[in-house]
Amino acid sequence: MILKADTSQSGIQDSSSESCELKQENKHLEGFYEELPIVKEIIIENTVSVSVRKCPETAKTLLNLETDLTGDVVVHWGVCRDDSKNWEIPAEPYPPETIVFKNKALRTLLQPKEGGKGCSRLFTLDEEFAGFLFVLKLNENTWLKCMENDFYIPLTSSSCLPAESVQEMLIPGKAEEATQEVSQTAYTAGIIKEIRNLVSDFSSDISRKTKSKEAQKSILLEIEKLAAEAYSIFRTTAPTFFEEAAVELEESKPPAKISPGTGTGFEILCQGFNWESHKSGRWYMELKEKATELSSLGFSVIWLPPPTESVSPEGYMPRDLYNLSSRYGNIDELKDVVNKFHDVGMKILGDVVLNHRCAHYQNQNGVWNIFGGRLNWDDRAVVADDPHFQGQGNKSSGDNFHAAPNIDHSQDFVRKDIKEWLCWLRNEIGYDGWRLDFVRGFWGGYVKDYLEATEPYFAVGEYWDSLSYTYGEMDHNQDAHRQRIIDWINAASGTAGAFDVTTKGILHSALDRCEYWRLSDEKGKPPGVVGWWPSRAVTFIENHDTGSTQGHWRFPGGREMQGYAYILTHPGTPSVFYDHIFSHYRQEIEALLSVRKRNKIHCRSRVEIVKAERDVYAAIIDEKVAMKLGPGHYEPPSGSQNWSFVTEGRDYKVWEAA
């Protein structure tokens, strides 16, 4: 069991996670007591500068936070409405790389400044708020506060200031870096408080006789889980790792776990099918034979095709969700291939189509919008604004897919049934996570609901729309395109990543037209989602839609390995297409996979773009790997660091630090 041991009290108490099904476990607790904290004091000398001003156009408050701290500095923040300083979460939108923490606070990763001297972030706040509250998180056990209190920035006074109001604070000379015992004690104190609250709630409700037996049982099970967590703290000495602190404490071991839904950060994804894979009728068994081979290449996650019965043989027009006899194989063969990949140490993503579903029956008007099978929904499950299927639900929360009835996720019964189905897939089949089809079709908040119910190891959404073009030529600035993907990730509260369609499109133009300057944005960062929110970017160059026999948006021919040289050396989570693995590219892909794993490149690795010119792009990643694309010249700098050549191909080359 992984425990999140936060030492700050600013709205960051964690609670135990809930699984799809509550499982009662009888545990005998011994020696359950509270301990005094043990703290190590470290003298530090850093500053935080906060400027506040009003935007004359929107009347919103603009707060810019800067610090000379370096590394992955996370701002744990909220707002308040008065002098009581009660933490609240403001309404969206939030800055990039922001996640909602247990509906109590927000966490935003500060963006490194150019030159690497400190980091900063701009926050846009509504004028209704009186103050901005925050603490800084340097790693899992180190929090920086203001003389034992939260940092507090008043906002109301800024309304009368014509210019910026700037506050510069010297961070107090002591940062409390909690030892394992401190973290455990602080976390246990929160658990003890929750147990007491639950017991009080349970006792009072019994006296009033208002709770059902099921609710009482739920409370008792929750108490038992909390007690078991607290007990386990006193029995373990293993540290806990999380995404915000992407730091290697041991050279030989990457973090064990970072964040549910986004994996450890070291995943390498294999798409395990193409558009023709259904034709053999036994794809699961064919793929099973390649499990050991794929694992040995370095892949840690495999994405399987849609498992349900479908009107289309490829699986993307599902009908009876609980019928897992598809053109790829039956339910027993699916379980078999899942077990095999688990045996070789790989995780499995199920391809789930939640946006639409094909009906079994026609209504009185001859329209196909009545469903059969275990989920026998009527036309209330179909959105009202799709003219093709006469739904009686609410209006769609996204873009309609006109080939099948679009499901209305605002309906309680629909969400309940989908969550039960996903939990069934997790428990019955053994899926570890999800690839979510056509997430443009419904609000990301529903995705958050589904993922919180199923707690996937990894999840990625397909948010695909067109990039920006002017007179047929791709614009250099694709911020609007990647912002739409970021907005979806934010709507899902960061519980899932998204395919970095922006990066794929920019690679198309850069490589095909010899315009490698496109691979750097105006701030010298990668120009796709990977440049803004790398831990949520799943990079790819081809999939079953864009390539294979469909070829909707095929990668420039002959330049595929340049694309892989980019995504396999850069941050983000790379996805490699099945057709490319089992082709003449295999040896080159294998070499690049080895480079990534050997140097522990992960989804949050640091990129320094050293060249982005017409005929050459070059970057250094984590000061461990140097690479270049294009016919132009580049050699990594000589000096204190020695570089050795590793691999090369047509218009790409890779070096490692000796």
Whether cis (ω within 30° of 0) applies to the bond prior to 172 is: no
437 annotated active-site: yes
- What is the spatial distance between Cα 570 and Cα 618, in angstroms, rounded to a whole number? 11
The counts of H helices and E strands in the chain are 13, 30
Of 297, 346, 254, the C-alpha closest to 594 is 297
The amino acid at residue 258 is I
Which tokens hold the place of 271?
């798409």
Options 6, 437, 521, 588, the catalytic residue: 437
584-598 burial, b for 16+ CB within 10 Å, e for fewer?
ebeebbebbbebbbe
- What is the spatial distance between Cα 486 and Cα 482, in angstroms, rounded to a whole number? 6
Residues 348/338, Cβ–Cβ less than 8 Å = yes
Distances 339 to 285, 343, 347, 431, 434 between C-alpha atoms, Å = 12, 6, 10, 10, 17
- Pairing between β-strand 652-657 and β-strand 625-629 as defined by DSSP bridges: antiparallel
90-101 burial, b for 16+ CB within 10 Å, e for fewer?
beeebbbbbbbb
Residues 229/5, Cβ–Cβ less than 8 Å = no
177 annotated active-site: no
DSSP codes of every residue in 285-311:
HHHHTTHHHHHHHT--EEEPPP-S-BS
Q: Which helix (H) or strand (E) holds 508?
A: helix 501-512
DSSP codes of every residue in 391-450:
--S---SS---TTSPBB-TTSHHHHHHHHHHHHHIIIII---EEEES-GGGS-HHHHHHH
Options 379, 462, 500, 515, the catalytic residue: 462
Residues 311/360, Cβ–Cβ less than 8 Å = no
Span between the terminal Cα atoms of the chain, in Å: 38
DSSP codes of every residue in 567-612:
HTTSSSEEEEEHHHHTSTTHHHHHHHHHHHHHTT--TT--EEEEEE
* Chain length of the chain: 658
- What is the spatial distance between Cα 571 and Cα 576, in angstroms, rounded to a whole number? 14
Q: Could you say which DSSP state residue 91 is in?
A: P
Residues annotated as catalytic are: 437, 462
